[in-house]
Each structure stands twice: as C-alpha cells, then as structure tokens.
Structure 1
Amino acid sequence: MLRKITSALAVAILCQQAPAADVLIENVTIVSPERSQPLRSQWVLIRDERIAQISSKPIDAKGAQRVPGAGKFLTPGLTDSHVHVSDAVGLPQGAHLSELKPLTDAFYRQQPRSYLYFGVTQVLDLANVPEAIAAFEAQPQHPDLLRCGATMPLDGYPSVFVDKPLRYTAMPDYIYEPANAAKHPLPEGADAAAHTPEAIVDRIAASGAACVKIFIENGFGDSSDWPVLSKESLQRLRAAATKRGLPILAHANALDMQRIALDAKVDVLAHGLWNWGPASGKPGVPPEIAAHMNRIHKSGTGYQPTLRVLAGTADLFRADTLEDPTYKKVVPAPLLEWYRTDAGQWFKKVMKQNYGDLPDAKIASMELQIGEQGMRAARYLHDLGHPLLLGSDTPSAPTYGNQPGYDTYREMRLMATAGIPLLDVFRAGTINSARQFRWEKTYSTVATGRVANLLLLDANPLDSIRAWSQIDKVVLRGKVIEREALAADR
C-alpha cells in the first residue's frame, strides 16, 4: 500500500510547476499537529518546494523572498480526503452539454482556487473521472490531487441514477455477479471476465489510482432494493486490493451498511453514521450505536464523519444560504446569480417532493436533526481515542450548499460544534489523514523535508476554529500566494 500511494504522490508533485525561488518566513509561530503547543519565534526556509530548514535563530538566506511572520501562525495545509472534483456544484447532470456550459466552465476554473482559498492544499478525489481530473490539474493553481478508483455492483448505487444503457459506459467499472443475473443481467456486449472483483481492481491499479472506493448502499430512506455486493465478492475485492497495495474506502452511512463494510474489512468508512435505523430519534448514543462505534475503534478502521452532507441539503431550504458573503469568494458571480433563479432551484424542488407541503424551515430542521446524530456518533468515537479524518464529501449531492473549500472549513466547524477539541480537528485535517494514507513523510507537518504546502494564519487555530477562515497567505509547493488572489472573480 505504501509503495502505491507514495508513487502516486510523486506523480502529483512532479506534475506541478517548476520550483519557486527560495522563501524565508521570518519570526513566525509554528503550529504543527504533532505538537501540543505552538513553537514561537521560528525562521522557516523553503527551497525546491520543500521545507529546507527550521531555526529559532535568523537564517541567512540571500536572495530569498522574505515573508514577515511576526504575529502570524504557520501550519501545514489541510487535506480534504473526500471530494468529487468532477461534479459541478448545484448544476444538473449533463449541464456541460447544454446552454449551461459557460457556468460549468466557470465553476471548474474556480474550483481549485476555492479549495486553496480555505487552505486545502491536498485533496483525495473518490470518483476518478479522468477528464475532470485533467481539467482540475490543468488550472495554474490547484491543490495536490490523489484519487481513488470507484466500483459498484452492476446496476447498484450510484449508477442507479443514470439511465440504461448509458450507465454502463458512464460508470464502466461495475462488478458483475452471476448469481444476480436474473435481476441484473450482464449488459449486451460486455465481457463477464472484465467485471470480476479481481479484474476491476487490476484496472483501477493500472489507472494510477491510489485507492479503491466501493459503495455499500441498498437504498435511501425506506427503500432497500438496490443491489449490494455479496460477501464473496467483497472478500475477493479485499484480497485483490491487498495484493495491489490499495486501501479500500467504503460509502456506507447507515448502521446495517456499515456493519457490512466492517465485515468486509475496509480500511476507511467514507461517511459518518447518521442513519441509525431503528435507533433513530433516541437521545444520546443508544447502546447499539455505541457498540458499533466501539467495533470501529477496535478494528482501527478510518472514519470520515462527513457532517456537511445533511447540512448541505438543509442549506437548500434556508433563506439566507445564497446571501452568505463567503459565497462571493468561492462561487463565480454568474453561477451565484443562476442559483437564485427558478431553474437554479431545481434540486430543491426534487428534494421537496419527499416532504410534501412542509415549510422550508421545517425541512431544514429535519435534515439537521438527522445530521446531529452523526455529530453525536463522531464525538463518541473521538472520546474512545479514535483519530478522525477530515472529509467534506464536496459535493455530496447536487446542492449549492456544498461549495469546495468552504465546505471543508464548515466540516471542521461542525466537528468543533460536536465537541471535538480544536487540536484534534486540526489533526483530522492533517496528520491523521497522512498516517491513514501513508503520506506523513510528504505532507501534514511543519518539518524539514516535507512539501511546502503551508498556511500563514492571522490567528491561532488552537484557540478558535474560526482561525481557519483567517488565512493571510497560502504557500503551495513553495510559492507564496495572497489569499485574496484566490477569490472568485467578480
């Protein structure tokens, strides 16, 4: 696993721009997640895109770009380990093929800068759409990107939302199970041998992906008729991924689905537990939920709370969402205006069908109540001593409530609201992800030899979660960028 991920990291770094000139950050306070306390009055020299030297005394660096650090706080850049860069937030499927193409183009140009605007210097994409990955990396300023290859059962989630036969070309890495052929026959012209767990993992590995994303989802709400991979297929998938050195991340947010994922020995649960099944609505952390969280902790399975999923849906029904002044920083002006139109409210109309005539405020409240269960579960798991992973799942649905970068920050805010201490929220977005995915020697700390993806903050993030919105400068592979230069063009 280590060899595969470090190889992918090397490619991500080599694909960036030529090395910047030396940079010297002077007299700064270092806040790094392996330390419980800040390190004050430090000089940090950056050379060839990496941290070359850290000293408590001034460093003689002739010709270096000097960055005053007095009164500032230097941290590693954040890692959002659950994003989907192929999805244009709030726009319908196929928008790039319609009159909305200028809006999708504007979104994709701004998307990488929006992540950087909120200090996200590394992202892990869980969809692996080659054209979207290329478009993201073609932008002059973008976070380092790693990616998973995604697979699902034939006709399973999320391919169920794409009409046949287009789904088989749009999402070709499906697993065919002969035992389910009566309900889900092999598509015409497809080769069964190319759709075994082993063949799919081999194809994902050959694509250069650093991990495998699987979907364990039998339906939303009261529905449960979507196919889920059999125990045998999951065992074969696990064996094939282990052989290839690829970790497995699982979409699973309901109690029964997460139990299947744990039985399959996945490496990371890519969603928090907010769907409690029969335990939903109970106060505190019910015994069956507590037992499940204890099992996660005992197994050492990675855990992404993804608290913004339900909150992002609730934002559709809040009257003030599109008036949030931060949206002007991360959303291109024409797209923001389109969100306000009747056409731009399309997904809200879809969601409202599930709620009948209930007022918007009530719908938002109901979504947030479900999401609050996920907050309680995350806090319980943290209190067991389990390291959490920062993953915003941006966008989790076609809601304009999930904006790149801003949602990473708001995910951190929700973690803090749930009672996660600020140091552990910091670690979730830095060293925990690095350790989970074996890139701690590349990112996640302010230390010599690490890639110089850094943030210069105006406030101490160990004092207030809002410090993560008070970014002065972003250092991306040794290049210093003023934060406001990353804001959306108005």
Structure 2
Amino acid sequence: MKTTRILASLSLLLCAQAWAGTQTWITNVKLVSPEKLDRIEAGSVLIEDERIVRVVRGAGGKAPAGARRVDGKGQFLTPGLIDSHVHLFSVPGMSFEQADQKQTMAAEYFAQMPRSFLYYGYTTVIDLAAGSREFIDRVKAAPLHPDVYDCGAPLVFANGYPSSYAPPETRFDMFSNFIYDPAQADKIPARFKPEDYTPAKGVARVKADHGICVKTHFEHGFGTMHNLPVMSPAVYGEVRAAASRDNLVLVTHGNSFEAQTFAVNGGADVLAHGMWHWGEMDKEKELPPAIKQLLDKIAARKIGYQATMQVLHGLNAYFEPAYLNHPALPKLLPPSMLAWLQTPEGQWFKQEIAEDETDAAVLKGMEAPLRRQRQVVAYLAGKDANFVFGTDTPSSPTYGNIPGLNGYLEMQDLHQAGLSLAQLFKAATINNARTFKIDAQVGTIEAGKVANLVLMKMSPLADIRAYDSVQTVWVRGKETPRDSLAVGGR
C-alpha cells in the first residue's frame, strides 16, 4: 500500500511538472506601471506561458528553478502600449484599387505591418472599422502580431459618412451594417428591409461578430461632400441603449464642435477625433466659452478622447519633402513600396489634397485647424481629461500615417500640445484598457494580466524619446528583440 501511494505521488508530481508552463524571469529592471507611477523602482516579473504570474518590487525575489532568466540591465519595463484607433485593412498611400492592382506590394506591406506596430511597442491595437473578419483573422494568424480587438463592421447611417464615398451601386454591400432611414427609402435598394436595419439590429451584428465596441459617425462631409445625412438624437439614443445592453463601448467619429456636442449629449463613451472644426467660431483666436463648456463636460464625464493629431499632420506629409526621408521608414516599409511612394504614381493622393494649390498654400491652410486642435488638447490636458491614445492609422489614403511611426509622431504631437509625459503614458496604457473594457487583460504590470511588456532604455516619464528606445517586446509572453521586427529582421 505504501509503495502504491509513493508511486501515485510520483505520478502526480510528474504530471504537474509536465503541465507547468514555460517560465521567464525578467529581472534587474525598473518597473513603470501606470497604476503605480509613484513607485518607479527596481523589480522583477515572472511570466508563465502567456501571463504574468508574479511581480516583485524591490531587490528581493529569486528566479524559480528552471525559469529562463532575462537581465534587463537596469532598463525600464512598461506594459505594452495600446493604439485604440487603427484601420488594419488599409495600405497607407494606396487606394483600394491600387492595392488590388499591386497585390505583391500590398502583400509585402501586410506581412510587415503587424511587426511595425510592435517595433514601437504597440502590443495591442483596436480596429475601429473591421470590415473584413477574414482579414482580421489573417493578421491574428501572423507569426508576430499585436493583440487585435475590433468594433466589427462600422454602424453607418444610410448614405452617410463614410459609405457615401462608395459608389451607390455597391455602397450597401460594402457597408452592410447600416441604419435604415425611412426618409431615404427611394435611395436604398428594395432588398434591404427596414426591420432588419434598425439601430438595435446593427449593434447586435457587432456583438455577434465579437466586437468590443460600436463605431458610429456624425459627419456632414468634407471635400466635395458637405450635406451628408446624419442620425438624429433619437436614433443615436437607440444605438446608445443597445450598446449598453450588449456591454459594448460606443465610439463616435466627429471632429467638429457640432459633432462632439451631439455625441456628448447622446452619451458617447469615446470621441474618435480631436476638434479642429469650430464651425461659426473658426475665426476665433482664443478658445471660445461655448467650447470650454463642452470640454468641461467631456473631462467631468471621463469620456475617452482620441485627439488623433496625426490625421492633419499625415496630410501635410505630402508637402513636407523630409517625411519620406525619415530614418525609420526603411525599417517599417518594404523597399519596393518605399520606392514606389516617391514616384509620381505614388504621389497620386497629393493632387487630391492640394486641389491645385501650391505646397506652401496647403501648409498655410492647415495652420488654423492645427492651432484649434492644439488649443482643445491643451485645455483638456489642464483638466486631466480621459485621453485614450489612438492614431487613426491610416486616417485616409495618405502615406503620412505609417504603422508604429505614426504612434511615435502622435505622442510627440500630444506632448507638444500640452499632455504631460505621465498623462501620455496613461493614455497609451491604463486609460485605453479601462475605457475599452480590456483592463482585466492588459494595461498594467500586474499578476494575472497578459504578458504584453516593453523594455525601454529610457523612462517614458522622463523623455518623449523613450518611445523610440524600445529594446525588447513581449507579446503574450513571447520575447522579440526590436531589431528583429524591422524589415528584413529575423
């Protein structure tokens, strides 16, 4: 009997050892976690498989037997960064038609794209308009990629933005998750029945597609379109109610005072852009009282605010020759694509932006919107608003929004506009995680969280350049040196 018990115990011990996951002990680092910014101190982190299982602060703590030891050399360990506004399906600098015509080039870009986010420490991204589930699944199947969450197909208002930019004959197939508008019955194909395209049905489709958020829009248009239909407060209220029932985050695109007023009054969780259009107040040099009152509500209600300053800077890239000579671009774009972007064909979008104006005139015209945007950001920063870091990468067919680099440039924009380094760090970690309800998984360095981590040479609380001093990235416990994430890296 005694022998039997011993054999049974040995069997259980061997099974336990077989079941135990691979362990990594990251030590000799300074821990920088947003929930403990008052405790930037030496420490160690134990990873088992995909999770953090122990965090040791101070000099104590020993690596468990058998754990692989990683010496952080006194550098700074942070949670992985989160970009909560990306569009993975778009190729910067290419129209969808060009991407179809240049399939080899597009395929090379898509193979590198997830690695480019990781190169700058973005271990989690949220796609706000995941039109293709098959494509999102392909990104998730890549050997190295950030964690990807999404809002499913955007919930658009019939014939409104952005579906209005698609041809009428294909619009409702391309943007199939739309809200039926009885006033436009003659402009909606008869095969689409009103009862199937209610706000509640649209939200339910996002939920069924495993989205974590619902993306809506309040946009009258720009360029040649200025009178696009938008949803009424009553319709938006139905969307809000349905999103609450399904525990989905309600995100609304709107870059104007009118749009953000609409969304705030309707109970939006996240505003997906900064406010660079002030409407009738555009000519005001100082922040008008009416805008301050709205911003006070945004700050007080802790509405997530994605300033997306690189939307405008990304357009300016066509008129600033130095952009394509940025030293990071050869590390983030395949050589064939980078070369093509510098050809006349690759410059096609410049003509659409310029509309026959000179480069100097275009840049001059951008000064006022950028000033207004900076003023809004500075005011909200002074109120310690709930900034959630998002880049809108790419915001349009511009090559000025390259994955990874666009995030680093956005961080510089925000810091120059008035966000402190601590505010910026929280925006890209804990604020994003909490606002998008993924904080049980990511956003801090705590036991139980997914092991998405970044090792930097510099502290992100000391210098904005820290975000370009990444040494090593862990995604779900898998360690990758930064150099191997660049084009041609191994």
Q: Distance in 2 between matches of 1:283 and 1:225?
A: 27
1:63 Cα deviation from its structure 2 partner:
2.6
**Contact conserved, 2:411 with 2:424, CA < 8 A, in 1?**
yes
1:283 Cα deviation from its structure 2 partner:
2.4
Residue of structure 1 equivalent to 2:394: 395
> Given residue 321 of structure 2, which amino acid in structure 1 is its aligned partner?
A
- The CA deviation string for residues 62-89 of structure 1, in whole angstroms up to 9 with x for no partner, is 3322211122000000010111111111
- The CA deviation string for residues 323-343 of structure 1, in whole angstroms up to 9 with x for no partner, is 111111111111101100111
**Contact conserved, 1:431 with 1:445, CA < 8 A, in 2?**
yes
1:131 Cα deviation from its structure 2 partner:
2.7
1:143-222 matches, within 5 Å, as: 143-149=146-152, 150-182=154-186, 185-220=187-222
- The CA deviation string for residues 403-449 of structure 1, in whole angstroms up to 9 with x for no partner, is 11111111111111112110110000001111112222211111111
Q: Distance in 2 between matches of 1:164 and 1:402?
A: 28
SS in 2 for 1:181: helix
Residue of structure 2 equivalent to 1:328: 330
Q: Distance in 1 between matches of 2:89 and 2:370?
A: 25
Q: Distance in 2 between matches of 1:104 and 1:80?
A: 22
Please say which of residues 28-37 and 107-116 is displaced more in the overlay. Answer: 28-37
TM-score by length of 1: 0.92
Residue of structure 2 equivalent to 1:94: 97
SS in 1 for 2:397: coil
Cα separation, partners in 2 of 1:222 and 1:260, compared to 1, 3 Å: farther
1:261 Cα deviation from its structure 2 partner:
1.2
Q: Distance in 2 between matches of 1:54 and 1:239?
A: 40
**Contact conserved, 2:25 with 2:45, CA < 8 A, in 1?**
yes
Q: Distance in 2 between matches of 1:319 and 1:51?
A: 44
1:253-402 matches, within 5 Å, as: 253-353=255-355, 356-358=356-358, 360-402=359-401
1:368 Cα deviation from its structure 2 partner:
4.4
Please say which of residues 50-59 and 215-224 is displaced more in the overlay. Answer: 215-224
1:25 Cα deviation from its structure 2 partner:
1.1
SS in 2 for 1:320: helix
SS in 1 for 2:173: helix
Q: CA RMSD in A?
A: 1.8
Residue of structure 2 equivalent to 1:141: 144
Which has the larger Rg? 2
TM-score by length of 2: 0.92
Cα separation, partners in 2 of 1:221 and 1:298, compared to 1, 3 Å: farther
Residue of structure 2 equivalent to 1:441: 440
Residue of structure 2 equivalent to 1:11: none
**Contact conserved, 1:19 with 1:49, CA < 8 A, in 2?**
no
Residue of structure 2 equivalent to 1:4: none
Q: Which residue of 103, 109, 112 corresponds with 2:111?
A: 109
SS in 2 for 1:468: helix
Cα separation, partners in 2 of 1:339 and 1:222, compared to 1, 3 Å: closer
SS in 1 for 2:25: strand
- The CA deviation string for residues 168-217 of structure 1, in whole angstroms up to 9 with x for no partner, is 111111111113335xx321322222111111111111111111000110
Q: Distance in 2 between matches of 1:20 and 1:478?
A: 11
Is 1:66 paired with 2:76? Answer: no
Task: Give the gaps of 5 or more residues in structure 2.
Answer: 1-18
Residue of structure 2 equivalent to 1:43: 44
- The CA deviation string for residues 235-255 of structure 1, in whole angstroms up to 9 with x for no partner, is 111111111111210000011
Q: Distance in 1 between matches of 2:43 and 2:77?
A: 10
Q: Distance in 1 between matches of 2:148 and 2:331?
A: 22
SS in 1 for 2:219: coil
Q: Distance in 2 between matches of 1:139 and 1:224?
A: 40
> Given residue 72 of structure 2, which amino acid in structure 1 is its aligned partner?
G
Q: How many residues are treated as equivalent by the alignment? A: 467
Q: Distance in 1 between matches of 2:37 and 2:50?
A: 26
1:476-487 matches, within 5 Å, as: 476-487=475-486
1:19 Cα deviation from its structure 2 partner:
10
Residue of structure 2 equivalent to 1:132: 135
- The CA deviation string for residues 325-373 of structure 1, in whole angstroms up to 9 with x for no partner, is 11111111111011001110011111111xx332x13312432441232
Residue of structure 1 equivalent to 2:464: 465
Residue of structure 1 equivalent to 2:34: 33
SS in 2 for 1:472: strand
SS in 2 for 1:414: helix
Q: Distance in 2 between matches of 1:397 and 1:223?
A: 16
1:309 Cα deviation from its structure 2 partner:
0.5
Q: Distance in 1 between matches of 2:116 and 2:487?
A: 8
Q: Distance in 2 between matches of 1:299 and 1:181?
A: 37
Please say which of residues 221-230 and 243-252 is displaced more in the overlay. Answer: 221-230
Residue of structure 2 equivalent to 1:420: 419
SS in 1 for 2:276: coil
> Given residue 266 of structure 1, which amino acid in structure 2 is its aligned partner?
A
**Contact conserved, 2:300 with 2:385, CA < 8 A, in 1?**
no
**Contact conserved, 1:333 with 1:489, CA < 8 A, in 2?**
no
- The CA deviation string for residues 22-72 of structure 1, in whole angstroms up to 9 with x for no partner, is 111111100111123353221211112111112231413233222111220
SS in 1 for 2:216: strand
SS in 1 for 2:460: coil
Q: Distance in 2 between matches of 1:433 and 1:139?
A: 24
**Contact conserved, 1:23 with 1:45, CA < 8 A, in 2?**
yes
Q: Distance in 2 between matches of 1:103 and 1:454?
A: 31
Q: Distance in 2 between matches of 1:368 and 1:38?
A: 40
Q: Distance in 1 between matches of 2:65 and 2:343?
A: 55
